[in-house]
Structure formats: structure tokens, C-alpha cells
């Protein structure tokens, strides 16, 4: 079924192309670029909230690498706040779809773990699923339903572009109109400006040893060895031909609670051992995205690294965490780093900042300029996770001996 659908889209593009005289590839690349432009207008449109006034950029601040400098974001309705820290949108379109990875343990046992997915708990499997949610979240843009969003899109300044190629009866179809908007947002987030790979760490990994200071080079060594950061924040290529500084796996670091318990991954998989687990984020541009962790509970990078270093030695400093029973005690919590090593690690994080973002901030622009040589989305299409669409819902974890048997999640304290 998936194959025939793909084939019919392919032949449609070919048909369009033969009419306009362009090749199928050119036609596809052009429509992709047009969708991305439209996506940018939707991203900035503050009429798509109830009450109006809130757009994507209200919580994803350009100067903070498109993250939110507030611990949690206020929604369109006064007094309604979210409970998670809005992450950076840089490199977000490169996060793999949520899927299961099988790992062979040293004991020879095969275990399945979740990897990838959007939102810090992976509750949206794909970016296409993700971009729909802010519109209808009551603590975000607070629209009523699909018809509400479609009505606003039809009244927008960019409506003629959104309508292009749609027959009159399709334009009155709420589902068709909103799907086009979601597609446009996805194409926008795939734009080269969100994946410049022009941080000093990129220059260094490409062979320019002078790109890092002596202190940062020491920090990098600690990152790879003693502190084990690179075990989860990968320095090698995995899902993309350049390193993303994450394996997009899930873990419970035991970060300080902010009151109401947040079940994370386990909240939607129903697996008790996954309660309190969150997806490991990319560390690209992390120096611009304070505060940190899924709930914004740690204010600075120094604090984050002090937490990794001494979490288990100073429980009174960090206070209680939401799900103590699933906290990872084997990889972090007591790293034995001295003050110098700690400072070296903090210094290293600066090398993860994209130059194009620093320049954008200096100029006061809304979006970064694309550095020379960054390939367009059409050229990179095979690497983008949105290239794959699952035809059937994902199965739960395969049954495993011993742990991870499905269970109802603990009741959370959410009202
Ligand atoms: C009211 C604030 C707010 C608005 C408005 C908002 N977001 Fe977000 N966004 C968040 C928060 C908070 C999260 C993290 C939620 C979570 O992890 O569960 C998030 C997560 C995301 C993610 C996932 C990133 C990741 O690493 O998983 C993407 C992509 C995203 N938003 C895009 C958008 C787009 C596109 C819009 C506009 C349609 C938008 N956001 C509007 C607050 C907001
Ligand atoms: C076992 C895997 C693992 C290891 C090892 C690890 N991290 Fe993390 N890291 C994570 C996860 C998972 C999160 C998100 C946790 C959350 O939000 O609750 C995270 C979050 C972070 C954040 C916050 C990012 C943000 O945008 O909020 C920073 C900074 C960070 N890690 C740096 C490091 C450094 C430095 C090291 C080495 C000292 C390290 N990590 C080791 C998995 C890991």
C-alpha cells in the first residue's frame, strides 16, 4: 500500500513536470522550497492563537537559538503555563522518528529501547505529528479544533499561496488546508538555516585543531573519557552525515523536581521503567538555551555539570526528583571531576555555538543567514526522518524476560 501511494505521488509529480517542461526532480525541489517559505509565514503568524497574539516564535526565541529563555512558557490564555522548557528548533528536523533500537547487552541479552521522536518525552513520533500540537494545546495556542485553524488560515495574508493548486472543493476541506500548513512548517524547519553546522567544534572535527582553545581541548578530552558525555551526546555521525551531539536515547537523570511529577516517556508508553525518562537533547547551541533540562530546573551550564559531577554526593543541594526509582546511577551522579576539569567542560560548551546564530544576534535579525555550502533540503532528502512514513502504528516493546513488562503508569499528580 505504501509503495503504490508513493508511486502515484511520483507519477503525479512527473505529470506536473511534463506539463511545465521541468524534470520531476526540479518540480519537486521547487515545490519543497515554496512550502518552506510559506512555513516561515505560518511560523510568524500571531493570528493562529486564541486569543490572537501568539505564534511559534513567541516561545521559540531566535536569540536563544529558537528555545525559550523562561523555564516554562506562558500560553495564549493568561495564567496558563506549560510544564516543560521549550527546546531549540535548531537541528530539530534532523531528530530521528521515534522507533525501537535493539541493543545487545554484554550478557548477551537483547533489549529494546526507544530512540528519537519529537517533544522531550517522544510523545509525537514524527515532526509532522509534532507541528500540529501547539495549535490545539490549551497551554499554548489554544485553538478549538481543526476547523478553527483552517478558518484562520483561509483568512491569512498568505492564503493565496496556501490555496495554490487546490480545487475550490479542496479549499473548503479543513483537513486538506491544515495538512498543507503542517507540511509547510515541516519544510520550514528543514531549511538550511536551522542546520548550518558552523560551530567551532565543526571546524575542529574537520581538522582545524586551532578552532578550539587549549582549555576547550582539555574539556573535549574529558567529555569523551572521564565524564562519559560523548556516550549519549555523540561526537560521531549517526543519523546524519555530521555529528548531532545526541544519540536521542531516553534516560532519567534525576533532575530537580519542580513540583508536579512529569512521567516523560513512561507517561505514554505505559512502561514503569520508563517513567521519568526524557530524550537526550543535542548539545548544539546549548550555551544560548538556558535554562536547562526538560523542566528548566537548572539555570546555568556550570550548574548542569556540577549536577552530573556530584548529584549523588549532595542530595540536599538538588532536592527531590519526580521518579527516584528509575534514575540512572551508573553513568552519572559522581564523576569525580575537580574544579579545573569542571571549568574545562563548561568552556567546551561554547564551542558548540553556531557562528551564524552569533552573527544573527549581533545584527538583531530574526533568522540566521545560511553559511556557504549548506545543501538544500532536496539534496539532503534521503537523510531527513520525514522521508519515512510508517504505514501502521508502532508496536509496543517486544516482550522481554524480566524487566520492562508493560504496566499502567503511576497516577501523576496532574490536575
Ligand atoms: C506556548 C509556547 C509554545 C508555542 C506557541 C510553540 N511551542 Fe514549540 N514547544 C514548546 C515547548 C514547551 C516544547 C517542549 C514540549 C515537550 O517537550 O513536551 C516545544 C517543542 C517543540 C518542538 C519539539 C522539539 C524537540 O526537541 O522535540 C518543535 C519542533 C516545536 N516546538 C515547534 C513549534 C512550532 C512549529 C510552533 C508553532 C506552530 C510552536 N512550536 C509553538 C513551546 C511552544
Ligand atoms: C546516559 C546518557 C547521558 C550522559 C552520559 C550525559 N548526558 Fe547530558 N543529557 C542526557 C539526557 C537524557 C538529558 C535530558 C534530561 C532531562 O531533560 O531530564 C541531558 C541533558 C543535558 C544538558 C541540558 C541540555 C538542555 O538543552 O536542556 C546538558 C547541557 C548536558 N546534558 C550535558 C552533558 C554533559 C556535559 C555530560 C558529561 C558530563 C553529559 N551531558 C552526559 C543524557 C546524558
Beta bridge partners of 99: 115
Q: Which residues of 171-330 form beta strands (DSSP E)?
A: 250-251, 278-279
Q: Which of 83, 60, 74 is nearest to 267 (CA)?
A: 83
- Total residues found in the chain within this entry: 415
Which pLDDT score, from 0 to 100, does residue 395 have? 72
- Residues 152-210 pLDDT 10s: 999 999 999 999 999 999 999 999 999 999 999 999 999 999 999 999 999 999 999 99
Q: How far is the CA of 134 from the centre of ligand 1 (A)?
A: 6
Name the packing angle between helices 2-20 and 24-44 (round to 10°). 100
Q: What is the pLDDT of residue 21?
A: 62
Low-confidence ranges of the chain (pLDDT < 70): 1-21, 388-392, 398-415
Q: Give the relative orientation of helices 174-189 and 146-154 as an angle to the nearest 10 degrees.
A: 80
Contact call for residues 305 and 342 (beta carbons, < 8 A): yes
Ligand nearest to the CA of residue 116, numbered in listed order: 1
H or E element in which residue 51 lies:
none
247 CB near ligand 2 (under 6 Å)? no
What pLDDT does 102 receive?
86
CA 149 to ligand 1 centroid distance, Å:
17
Ligand nearest to C-alpha 95: 1
Domains of the chain: 2-387 (1.10.760.10)
Residue 295 near residue 258 (C-beta atoms within 8 A): yes
As a three-state string, the secondary structure of 100-146 is EEEEECCCCCEEEEEECCECCCCCECCHHHHCCHHHHCCCCCCCCCH
- In tens, the pLDDT along 75-111 reads 999 999 999 999 999 999 999 999 988 888 889 888 8
Amino acid at each position: 500500500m505504501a509503495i503504490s501511494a508513493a508511486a502515484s505521488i511520483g507519477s503525479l509529480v512527473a505529470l506536473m513536470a511534463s506539463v511545465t517542461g521541468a524534470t520531476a526532480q526540479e518540480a519537486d525541489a521547487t515545490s519543497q522550497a515554496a512550502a518552506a517559505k510559506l512555513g516561515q509565514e505560518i511560523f510568524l503568524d500571531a493570528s493562529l492563537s486564541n486569543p490572537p497574539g501568539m505564534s511559534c516564535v513567541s516561545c521559540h526565541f531566535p536569540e536563544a537559538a529558537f528555545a525559550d529563555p523562561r523555564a516554562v512558557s506562558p500560553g495564549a490564555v493568561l495564567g496558563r503555563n506549560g510544564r516543560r522548557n521549550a527546546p531549540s528548533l535548531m537541528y530539530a528536523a534532523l531528530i530521528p522518528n521515534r522507533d525501537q533500537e535493539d541493543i545487545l547487552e554484554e550478557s548477551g541479552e537483547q533489549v529494546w529501547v526507544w530512540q528519537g521522536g519529537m517533544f522531550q518525552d517522544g510523545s509525537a513520533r514524527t515532526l509532522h505529528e509534532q507541528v500540529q500540537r501547539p495549535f490545539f494545546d490549551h497551554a499554548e495556542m489554544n485553538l478549538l479544533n481543526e476547523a478553527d485553524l483552517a478558518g484562520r488560515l483561509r483568512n491569512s495574508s498568505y492564503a493565496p499561496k496556501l490555496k495554490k493548486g487546490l480545487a475550490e472543493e479542496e479549499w473548503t476541506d479543513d483537513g486538506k488546508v491544515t495538512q498543507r500548513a503542517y507540511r509547510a512548517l515541516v519544510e520550514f524547519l528543514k531549511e538550511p538555516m536551522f542546520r548550518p553546522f558552523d560551530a567551532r567544534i565543526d571546524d575542529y572535527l574537520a581538522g582545524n585543531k586551532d578552532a578550539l582553545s587549549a582549555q576547550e581541548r582539555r574539556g573535549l578530552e574529558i567529555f569523551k573519557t572521564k565524564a562519559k558525555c560523548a556516550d549519549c551526546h555523540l561526537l560521531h555521525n549517526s543519523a546524519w552525515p555530521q555529528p548531532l551531539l545526541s544519540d536521542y536515547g531516553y534516560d532519567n537523570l534525576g533532575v530537580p523536581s519542580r513540583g508536579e511529577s512529569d512521567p516523560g516517556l513512561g507517561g505514554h508508553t505505559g512502561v514503569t521503567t520508563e517513567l521519568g525518562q526524557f530524550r537526550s537533547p543535542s548539545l548544539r547551541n546549548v550555551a544560548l538555551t538556558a535554562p536547562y533540562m526538560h523542566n528548566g530546573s537548572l539555570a546555568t551550564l556550570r550548574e548542569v555539570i556540577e549536577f552530573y559531577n556530584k548529584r549523588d554526593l549532595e542530595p540536599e543541594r538538588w532536592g527531590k526528583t519526580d521518579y527516584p526509582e528509575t534514575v540512572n546511577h551508573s553513568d552519572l551522579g559522581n564523576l569525580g571531576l575537580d574544579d579545573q576539569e569542571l571549568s574545562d567542560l563548561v568552556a567546551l560548551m561554547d564551542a558548540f555555538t553556531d557562528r551564524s546564530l552569533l552573527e544573527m544576534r549581533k545584527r538583531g535579525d530574526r533568522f540566521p543567514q545560511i553559511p556557504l555550502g549548506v545543501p538544500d533540503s532536496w539534496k539532503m532528502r534521503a537523510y531527513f526522518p520525514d522521508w519515512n512514513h510508517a504505514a501502521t502504528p508502532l508496536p509496543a516493546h517486544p516482550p522481554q524476560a524480566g524487566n520492562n513488562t508493560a504496566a499502567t503508569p503511576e497516577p501523576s499528580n496532574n490536575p
